[in-house]
Amino acid sequence: MTQPIYFFAKDKTEGNATMKELLGGKGANLAEMTNLGIPVPPGFTITTEQCAEYERLGGKLPEGLWDETERYLARLEDEMGMKFGAADNPLLVSVRSGAADSMPGMMDTILNLGLNDESVTGMATKAGNDRFAWDAYRRLVNMFGNVVMNIGHDAFEAAMRELKYETNKKEDTDLVTDELRELTRRYFAIFEQQAGRPFPQDPREQLKLSVEAVFKSWMNPRAIKYREINKITGLLGTAVNVQAMVFGNMGQTSGTGVCFTRDPSAGENVFYGEYLINAQGEDVVAGLRTPDPISRLESELPDCYAELVRYRDVLEKHYRDMQDIEFTIQEGRLFMLQTRSGKRTPPASVKIAVDMANEGLIDRETAVKRVKPEEISILMHPAFDPDAAKSTIAVGLPASPGAATGRVYFTADKAEEHHAKGEKVVLVRRETSPEDVGGMHVSEGILTAVGGMTSHAAIVARGMGKCCIVGCSQIDIADDHKSFKTESGASVREGDWISLDGTSGEVYAGEVSTIPPKLSGDFDAILAMADEFRTLKVRTNCDTPEDAKKAREFGAQGIGLCRTEHMFFGEDRIWAMREMILAENVDAREAALAKLLPFQRADFDGIFRAMDGLPVTIRLLDPPLHEFLPHEREAAKKMAEKLGVSVDDVITKVKLLSELNPMLGHRGCRLGVSHPEIYRMQSRAILEAAYDVKADGIDVLPEIMIPLVGTVTELEMLRDDTMAVYEELKAERGGPIDFLVGTMIEVPRAALTAREVAGAAQFFSFGTNDLTQMTYGFSRDDIGTFLPTYLEKDVLPEDPFASLDTTGVGRLVEMAATEGRAGNPSLKLGICGEHGGDPASIHFCAKVGLDYVSCSPFRVPVARLAAAHAALGVG
Beta carbon of residue 832, minimum distance to a second copy (angstroms, whole number): 17
Smaller CB separation from a second copy, 65 or 832: 832
The whole-angstrom separation of Cα 252 and Cα 330 is: 10
What order do you get walking across the sheet with 445-448 strand by strand?
A: 392-395, 506-509, 497-501, 403-409, 425-429, 445-448, 467-470, 397-400
CB 399 within 8 A of CB 461: yes
In angstroms, the CA 364 to CA 198 distance is 58
What does residue 171 show for φ and ψ, rounded to 5 degrees? -100, 155
Q: What single letter denotes the amino acid at residue 765?
A: S
Residue (297 or 650) nearer to a second copy, CB: 650
Query: Are the C-beta atoms of 398 and 501 separated by less than 8 Å?
Result: yes
The nearer residue to a second copy, 489 or 777, going by C-beta atoms, is 777
Q: Which is nearer to a second copy, 200 or 788 (CB)?
A: 788
- Nearest-approach distance from CB 720 to a second copy, in angstroms: 12
Question: 793: which DSSP letter?
Answer: T
Residues in the chain, overall count = 875
**Cβ-based nearer residue to a second copy, 499 or 753:** 753
Q: Which of 197, 781, 825, 826 binds a second copy (CB under 8 A)?
A: 781
Over the window 653 to 682, marking each residue x when it contacts a second copy by CB under 8 A and - when it does not, the resulting string is ----x-xxxxxxxx---x--xx--------
- Catalytic position from the list 304, 467, 468, 832: 832
Residue 456 falls in the annotated catalytic set: yes
Counting residues that bind a second copy (by CB under 8 A) gives 48
Closest CA to 403 of 419, 372, 379, 439: 379
Cβ neighbors of 586 (< 8 A, separation 6 or more) are: 677
Half-sphere exposure of 535 (CA within 13 A, CB side): 12
- Binding a second copy (rule: CB under 8 A), the pick from 778, 801, 852, 858 is 778
**Beta strands 333-341; 445-448: pairing state:** unpaired
Q: Report DSSP letters for 324-392, one per residue.
A: EEEEEEETTEEEEEEEEEPP--HHHHHHHHHHHHHHTSS-HHHHHHHS-HHHHHHHHS-EE-TTS---E
CB of 661 to a second copy, least distance (A): 4
Q: Minimum Å distance from CB 230 to a second copy?
A: 21
CB of 751 to a second copy, least distance (A): 9
Torsion of CA 626, 630, 631, 634, to 10 degrees: -160
- Quickly count: other Cβ atoms within 10 Å of residue 510's Cβ: 15
Nearest distance, CB of residue 127 and a second copy, angstroms: 57
Q: Per-residue string for binding with a second copy, 678-717, x by CB under 8 A?
A: ------------------------------x-xx-xx--x
The H-assigned helical ranges of 759-807 are: 768-776, 787-792
- Judged by beta carbon, residue 450 or residue 625, the one nearer a second copy is 625
Helix, strand, coil percentages (3-state) for the chain, rounded to 5, are 50, 15, 35
Q: Is 623 in the site for a second copy (CB under 8 A)?
A: no
Spatial contact of 733 and 691, defined as CB atoms under 8 Å apart:
yes
Residue 790 contacts a second copy per CB under 8 A: yes
- 770 is an interface residue for a second copy by CB under 8 A: yes
To a second copy, the closest distance from the beta carbon of 319 in angstroms equals 40
CB nearer a second copy, residue 646 or residue 661: 661
The catalytic residue among 418, 419, 441, 456 is 456
Asked if 786 is part of the footprint of a second copy (rule: CB under 8 A), the reply reads yes
Site membership for a second copy, residue 386 (CB under 8 A): no
Q: Which amino acid is it at 7?
A: F
d(CA 313, CA 588): 79
* Shortest Å, Cβ 717 to a second copy: 7
Pairwise CA distance, residues 561 & 543, whole Å: 8
Nearer of residues 593 and 625 to a second copy, judged by Cβ: 625
Task: Report d(CA 255, CA 331) in Å as an integer.
Answer: 8
Nearest to 816 by CA among 769, 770, 867, 747: 747
Give the nearest distance from C-beta 668 to a second copy in angstroms: 8
Residues contacting residue 647 through CB under 8 Å, at least 6 positions apart: 633, 636, 637, 640
CB of 806 to a second copy, least distance (A): 11
Amino acid at 98: G
Range in contact with a second copy (rule: CB under 8 A) among 256-264, 305-313, 791-799, 838-846: 791-799
Rounded Cα–Cα distance for residues 227 and 296 (Å)? 37
CB of 746 to a second copy, least distance (A): 8
Nearer to a second copy, 800 or 837 (CB): 800
**Interface of this chain with a second copy, residues 792 to 821, rule: CB under 8 A:** 793-796, 805, 807-809, 811-812
- Region binding a second copy by CB under 8 A among candidate stretches 47-55, 89-97, 190-198, 786-794: 786-794
Q: Which is nearer to a second copy, 358 or 674 (CB)?
A: 674
Cβ pair 260, 272 in contact under 8 A: yes
Confirm whether 153 is a catalytic residue: no
Q: How far is CA 423 from the centre of its chain?
A: 19
How far apart CA 343 and CA 463 sit, in angstroms, is 6
Among 2, 168, 646, 785, binds a second copy (CB under 8 A): 785
799: CB partners within 8 A, 6+ apart: 787, 791
Q: How far apart are CA 193 and CA 830, in angstroms?
A: 65
CA distance 826 to 829: 10
User: Which helix H or strand E contains 630, and what residues bound it?
Assistant: none
Min separation Cβ 804 and a second copy, Å: 12
Which of 175, 330, 376, 273 lies closest to 869 in space, CA to CA? 376
The contacts of residue 65 (CB under 8 Å, 6+ apart) are 4, 46, 50
Closest to a second copy by CB, 421 vs 518, is 421
Comparing CB distances to a second copy, the nearer of 471 and 710 is 710
Angle 419-287-417 from CA coordinates, rounded to 5°: 10
Residue 664 or 872: the one with the smaller Cβ distance to a second copy is: 664
CB of 817 to a second copy, least distance (A): 15
x/- map, 745-764, a second copy, by CB under 8 A: -xxxx--xx-----------
**Looking at the annotation, which residues are catalytic?**
456, 832
**Contacting residues toward a second copy, per CB under 8 A:** 657, 659-666, 670, 673-674, 708, 710-711, 713-714, 717, 746-749, 752-753, 770, 773-779, 781-782, 785-786, 789-790, 793-796, 805, 807-809, 811-812
